[in-house]
Amino acid sequence: MNQTAQTVWNNCLSFIKDNIQPQAYKTWFAPIKAVKFTDNSLSIQVPSKFFYEWLEEHYVKILKVALTKQLGENAKLVYIIKMENTYGNKEPFTEKIPSTNRGSLKSQNVEVPLKNKNPELKNPFIIPGIRNVKIESQLNPNYSFENFLEGDSNRLARNAGIAVANKPGGTSFNPLLIFGGVGLGKTHLAHAIGVDIKDKYPEKTVLYISAEKFTQQYIDAVKKNNRNDFIHFYQIIDVLIIDDVQFLSGKSGTQDVFFHIFNHLHQNGKQVILTSDKAPVDMQDIEQRLLSRFKWGLSAELQTPDFETRVSILKNKLYRDGVEIPEDIIEYVAKNIKSNVRELEGAIISLIAQSSFNKKEVTISLAKDVVEKFVKNTKREVSIDYIQKIVSDYFQMDVDTLQSKTRKRHIVQARQLAMFFAKKLTKASLASIGSQIGKRDHATVLHACKTVNNLSSTDKQFKKYVEDLSKKLSI
């Protein structure tokens, strides 16, 4: 019986689908295309080298069983990797790689040639006129995992960061996107990962750069007509850390070049780490093809630290600085400064400074003065908890009622207003807002924001609600 590549592969897929998780099937098998079937050898096309390596690492046994069931013991599997050509040639190029012979499908190992080698790499970090080929990591060694304290608000992001540092490019967290509001530790964590990788793998080239500086370098490269040199430089990095990637919004040229650099790094098993003040779903003016790449790995949110974590952060800061402060004063500062870690540490530094400059003992009274002045002089983000309290008080209900599942109209409207102001006044993601306001999903928050905007323009009473709450929430 004559079998086509598609029928053989469809039969294999039926077996595989029954034996792995649906999400794994969707991620790793649905994108594969059957290309050719000759001499008991099935050729399949995969989207990238990374994709091929992941299949060989995690699914080679099930592939062997599936193909052997269809074609017998002499079955062979060949991967065709369709890769992006990042060097201006519009035609994509492919590499054929037989499946490895780890006791699996009969074939030979093939060394994959490194294409488009460029011996002269111009380093955009080098000052013109100074010869230096070494790439400095631009990392701050003061940012480490040791002084990035773990709590409920950052556990996922911190642990993912440790996993990446232990095996850069070798985990499913690639890219690792760390997102959250101002002062919650995104930059600290990104540096900590880089510092740890440099410590464990000194031979790896690690580079930290802000998206703003990356953009400026690209603009300079275009002006000087050495765009390819810019691309080649970034393609030799083993671990690329880009801070504040939301800064690429609206910059189509920079997004395009970053897309090609990202693809090359990812396909070659290099690690990409990104930080952003927004989740991918909330990013505006970023191309869809780039957003889809951001979602390939893990997006981990840093949230506002809870009271226990704030106390631990303060104690750790004091310990590192060799300062002792009574427990009740530490707790007072932690209770009254909730918005972010940066403000928390700033307040304790101010308190220590006031005490030493004025030769005053650190007391609750002094702490109160410092915290009041600090909070007043600091432009701070309103918390979602505070928004819910203000909205609940305004509508004369408690927060539990606001968060409840009830569909009573006035409660639903209050909840929608809380979501609307949380979206407007905080940098929290839609998913985070929904989670904190009655365990809703991001689609509910999006709907709430649209409803509030619509009612504000058509309903006078509702418009008054919005105006009153805007005044109450203004800082």
Please write the tens of the pLDDT for every residue from 31-45.
898 988 988 888 888
Could you say which of 1.10.630.10, 1.10.1750.10, 3.90.1200.10, 2.40.50.100 is the CATH number of the domain covering 384-473?
Answer: 1.10.1750.10
Confidence of residue 358 (pLDDT cuts 50, 70, 90): low
What average pLDDT does range 196-216 have in this prediction?
90
Q: How far apart are CA 339 and CA 333, in angstroms?
A: 12
The pTM of this model reads: 0.51
Q: Is the pLDDT of residue 190 over 70?
A: yes
C-beta atoms surrounding 425 within 10 Å = 18
Distances (CA, A) of 320 to 110, 313, 317, 324: 52, 11, 5, 10
Could you say which of 2.30.110.10, 3.30.300.180, 3.40.640.10, 3.30.300.30 is the CATH number of the domain covering 5-98?
Answer: 3.30.300.180
Task: Provide the percentage of residues in the chain whose pLDDT is more than 90.
Answer: 20
CATH for 307-377? Answer: 1.10.8.60
Averaged pLDDT of the chain: 79
301, amino acid identity? E
Return the domain boundaries, the chain.
5-98, 155-302, 307-377, 384-473
Q: Is the pLDDT of residue 65 over 60?
A: yes
Tokens for 103? 């006791």
Task: Please answer whether residues 211 and 194 qualify as being in contact, where contact means their C-beta atoms are separated by less than 8 angstroms.
Answer: no
Could you say which of 3.40.50.300, 3.40.50.150, 3.40.50.720, 3.50.50.60 is the CATH number of the domain covering 155-302?
Answer: 3.40.50.300
Say which residues have a Cβ less than 8 Å from residue 397's Cβ, sequence separation at least 6: 411, 414
What pLDDT score was predicted for residue 73? Answer: 85
Tens digit of pLDDT for each residue in 405-462? 989 999 999 999 999 999 988 878 888 899 899 889 888 999 999 999 999 889 999 9
Q: Edge to edge, what strands does the sheet with 33-38 contain? A: 33-38, 41-46, 76-83, 93-98
